[in-house]
Amino acid sequence: MRRSPRRLAWLIGPALVAGVAYLDPGNVASNMTAGARYGYLLVWVVVLGNVMAWLIQYLSAKLGVVTGQSLPEALGHRIQSPWGRRAYWLQAELVAMATDIAEVIGGAVALYLLFGVPLLWGGLITGAVSMTLLIVQSRGGAKPFEFVIMGLVAVIAIGFGYGVFVAPPDGAGVASGLMIRFDGTDSVLLAASILGATIMPHAIYAHSALSRDRFTAASAQNGAKAAATVSRGVPLENLRGISTSGLLRATRWDVTIAMLIAGTVNLCILLLAAANLAGVSGTDTLEGAYAALHDGIGPAVATLFAVGLLASGLASTSVGAYAGAEIMRGLLRVRVPLLTRRLITLIPALAILAFGVDPTLALVLSQVVLSFGIPFALIPLVVLTANRGLLGRFRNHGITTAAGIAASTFLVVLNALLLWLILTGR
């Protein structure tokens, strides 16, 4: 039976929450630094990263929709060796920690820019707000949490997009930035950082879990039998009267909307820096960029930039904590309360702030760590979603699998090139 667009619209939301990972403070730092140092040179990286992100997030969501399992759960069932599961968990956990560092530091910097709050106290406030958001998720369910996150996404979009309309970029410069090229080791480092911030491993883990949680909760309203069917990983043919094909159709719209928003905002950040901060001294830090925007374009643009940064940190840190808990549960089969985990994962970020490490440098390097974690999430995702035994008729088409392999290969080669350039000092 054909369902109305309004009915399918109810299913939209998981990708918008997972998409917050593409708008975190690490993205802001990487894109601002790239625009300020190299102008429009790395526009192509943002565009390419967003195209790959659409495919990757859709595959992640599809895995959760069709099987009722998250990616960490699926891997936890298939990695037979306990030590193998622990090793895989360790690298995924390091990625999640790098995410936490970026998000908490970004929120702390924003509070400092807006209100003069010391960075350490700003980190504590950011962590406290993230705990509040996690309480909403754990007690209120998926939908209220999604509404809160989507509200923050709207603030992020306005905060980072406004400056591009006030001081628009050069069209010819943007066009030239679509050519694939680099300019030395540092530009490769920034490209890897942008990709690490755009295609975030924890977003791949989280999206499958968000889709699983949303549709499992919905199926439970149809009775215990439907809920049990989901938990066993059988295709959800009768979820609230909507077929799996209908769920996947809604999921494609969900991912498309989320990636359009994330890609546009990320591009706006880079273009804002390229058009207004290129060659300006001190703009390779978030504080310097804020000051330059304030002096060059006006206090309104600078203030909205800081507000967007704050919303970015608050929204993404809660999603990161959710992803980290799912990684541990799926791979180690250990459940740690979200709030307890949030307290523990705050420690590295607060330590960085307490010891006075440059926040922008920490943000950029955290995105490089994320970039190296991408293949460990992406390659298994492509393999699992191409598996007929797991997804049945909903497995990937050959061209989808080929695109996933191409994206994985590109990212692995880029990271290998980055490592070689760093080790040889070129």
How many structural domains are present in the chain? 1
- Write the pLDDT tens digit of every residue in 230-277: 333 333 443 456 678 878 888 898 999 999 999 999 999 999 999 988
**Domain CATH for 321:** 1.20.1740.10
**24 DSSP 8-state letter:** S
Between the ranges 41-55, 130-144, 200-214, where is the mean pLDDT highest?
41-55
Does residue 227 surpass a pLDDT of 60?
no
How many CB atoms are closer than 10 A to CB 17?
Answer: 28
Q: How confident is the model at residue 221 (pLDDT cuts 50, 70, 90)?
A: very low
- Write the pLDDT tens digit of every residue in 143-164: 777 788 888 888 989 998 998 9
Q: Average pLDDT of 360-388?
A: 83
Q: Model-level pTM? A: 0.85
Q: Average pLDDT of 337-345?
A: 78
User: What is the pLDDT, as a whole number, of residue 361?
Assistant: 77
Beta pairing partners, 239: 242
Cα distance between residue 379 and residue 405, in whole Å: 8
- Write the pLDDT tens digit of every residue in 70-112: 999 999 999 989 999 999 999 998 888 887 887 888 889 899 9
- The tokens for 373 are 């974690």
Q: How confident is the model at residue 193 (pLDDT cuts 50, 70, 90)?
A: confident
User: What is the pLDDT, as a whole number, of residue 152?
Assistant: 87
Residue 31 to residues 87, 99, 139, 306: CA-CA distances in angstroms?
32, 16, 35, 15
SS3 content of the chain, % helix, strand, coil (to 5): 80, 0, 20
Range of the domain at 70: 5-424
Q: How confident is the model at residue 197 (pLDDT cuts 50, 70, 90)?
A: low
